[in-house]
Amino acid sequence: MHLHPNADPAEVVVVSNERCTAGRKPAGFIRHVVFDVSGTRLEGSFRPGQSFGVIPPGVDARGVPHKVRLYSTSSPTRGEDGQGRHVATTVKRLIDEHVETGRLFLGVASNYLCDLKPGDRVKMTGPSGKRFVLPADPWAHDYVFFATGTGVAPFRGMLMDLFPEGEHPGRGDGGRAVLVMGSPYGTDLLYDGQLRALEARSGGRFRYVTAVSRESGWSGDGRLSGYVHDAFGRIAAVDEVLSGGRALVYVCGVAGMELGVLRGLWRSADGAAFVGVDASAGEPGVWTRRMIHKEVRPSRRVFLEVY
Ligand SMILES: Cc1cc2nc3c(=O)[nH]c(=O)nc-3n(C[C@H](O)[C@H](O)[C@H](O)COP(=O)(O)OP(=O)(O)OC[C@H]3O[C@@H](n4cnc5c(N)ncnc54)[C@H](O)[C@@H]3O)c2cc1C
């Protein structure tokens, strides 16, 4: 961790920058940006689930140099290139309005990253984060991954680690995985083609489930009309993995998704293995986000990363 701290960032080079939605009209603009980190201390040092920092050039409105922003790596441990030299992230353009003037506000780092061209040089720090990673023996567990938006980034890398291309999927009996990917519309699904291909080559060990909330008629095999937490009790693979006794649950994406997932875990067959709940918390329906980590405590088998 922190092989390149903020005071000593690495200079890395952009390899490619591509849209990562298949649809031409997604609700947000999200890009897959790949960096060449070779020759820096970052080479071969990232695990999926960790983040790196980006220091955008220039100064803010007060004339102070821009601060570092964190981005999850979406690459497998071996990197995009198989050698640990090319590291990717999944970045969403932040587009907002000034509170007072109502004028367009473009997030500094996200738009800087999305506008980069191959060959551009970027100041990168990291790696950071030590808990939101696969365990030392990934094959000793099964997984349910819940993602919304760019929260899919760490799971793309983890799934590529669990189901490497060209190799026999999984080792022994463990390492089964379900990804529940939530988005408002089908056109917002990220890495959809790659994840379908991964499901196809997994020999039934990986299930890819899409939960789409604002599009009517999103139903069928692996399709849920609703939110990621609607998978509990409706997607057999989720319930099977959760009741198998060795499941780990990872949640990444928009803040606010944790509560629905914790409610679903608590109500699942093996609820107490995933969530510890004080009597004062009341029924799951009245839980609030403020209770998380206090009256409603994810167990050591649940990993949350929301931003
Ligand atoms: C562990 C971690 C991992 C992350 N991983 C990812 C990832 O994989 N992909 C990803 O896209 N993001 C990720 N993020 C979020 C990312 O770090 C940034 O927060 C995000 O990209 C926005 O940064 P920005 O510089 O574009 O926006 P900023 O310029 O920092 O703006 C941030 C907020 O401040 C408001 N704001 C600031 N100044 C003004 C102003 N003058 N007027 C109006 N509003 C203003 C903006 O509207 C916005 O809500 C992650 C965050 C964390 C903590």
- What is the reported pLDDT for 166? 74
Could you give the CA distance from residue 230 to residue 225 in angstroms, rounded to a whole number? Answer: 8
Do 111 and 245 sit in the same domain of this protein? no
Does residue 110 have its Cβ closer than 6 Å to ligand 1?
A: yes
5 in a domain, yes or no? no
If asked whether residues 39 and 142 sit together in one domain, one would say no
pTM of the model: 0.95
**Cα distance between residue 153 and residue 73, in whole Å:** 6
Q: Per residue in 3-31, is it b (16+ CB within 10 Å) or e — as a string?
A: ebeeeebbebbbbbbeebbeeeebeebbb
For 203-217, the pLDDT digits (tens) are 899 999 999 999 988
Atom number, ligand 1, closest to the C-alpha of residue 305? 1
Q: Do 163 and 118 share a structural domain?
A: no
Question: Contact at 8 Å (CB) between 179 and 208?
Answer: yes
φ, ψ at 306 (rounded to 5°):
-120, 150
At which of 94, 128, 162 does a domain end? 128
Query: Which of these three, 128, 155, 173, is where a domain ends?
Result: 128
Q: Which of 153, 142, 141 is nearest to 181 (CA)?
A: 153
Tens digits of residue pLDDT in 81-103: 999 999 999 999 999 999 999 99
Q: How confident is the model at residue 167 (pLDDT cuts 50, 70, 90)?
A: low
* 69 and 214 assigned to the same domain: no
Domain final residue pick, 128, 157, 186: 128
Nearest ligand 1 atom to alpha carbon 151: 8
Taking residues 17-46, report their average pLDDT.
Answer: 92
Give the closest residue (by CA) to ligand 1 atom 9.
91
Same domain, 210 and 279: yes
Chain-centroid distance, C-alpha 102: 31
- The verdict on 179 and 273 lying in the same domain is yes
* Single-letter residue type at 107: G
pLDDT surpassing 90 at residue 275: yes
For residue 107, the CA-to-ligand 1 centroid distance in Å is 6
**Residue 25 belongs to domain with CATH number:** 2.40.30.10
| Claim to verify: residue 164 and residue 15 sit in the same structural domain | no
Residue 200: domain span: 138-306
Span from the CA of 89 to the centroid of ligand 1 (angstroms) = 14
pLDDT at residue 72 tops 90: yes
Q: What number is the average pLDDT over the span 224-234?
A: 96
pLDDT of residue 306: 93
Please tell me whether residues 101 and 183 are part of one structural domain: no
Residue 1 in domain: no
Q: Is 108 in the pocket of ligand 1 (CB under 6 A)?
A: yes
User: Per mean pLDDT, which range of 22-31, 32-41, 204-213 is the poorest?
Assistant: 22-31
One-character DSSP codes across the chain: --SB-TTS-EEEEEEEEEE-BSSSS-SS-EEEEEEE-TTSTTTT---BTBEEEEE-SSB-TTSPBPPPEEEEB-S-TT-TTSSS-EEEEEEEPPEEE-TTT--EEE-HHHHHHHT--TT-EEEEEEEE-SSSS--SSGGG-EEEEEEEGGGGHHHHHHHHHHS-TTS-SSSSS---EEEEEEESSGGG-BTHHHHHHHHHHTTTSEEEEEEESSSTT--BTTEEES-GGGGTTT-HHHHHHHTTS-EEEEEEESTTHHHHHHHHHHHSTTGGGTEEE-GGG-SGGG--GGGBTTTEEE-TTEEEEE-
Give a yes or no: residue 3 inside a domain.
Answer: no
70/167 same-domain check: no
pLDDT at 171: 60
The answer as to whether 133 is a domain residue is no
Residues 115 and 147 grouped into a single domain: no
CA of 268 to the centre of ligand 1 (A): 34
Q: Please choose from 20, 32, 69 the residue to mutate so as to test ligand 1's pocket, defined by most ligand atoms within 8 A of CB.
A: 69
| pLDDT higher than threshold 60 for residue 169 | no
Overall domain count for the chain: 2
Q: What CATH number is attached to the domain comprising 244?
A: 3.40.50.80
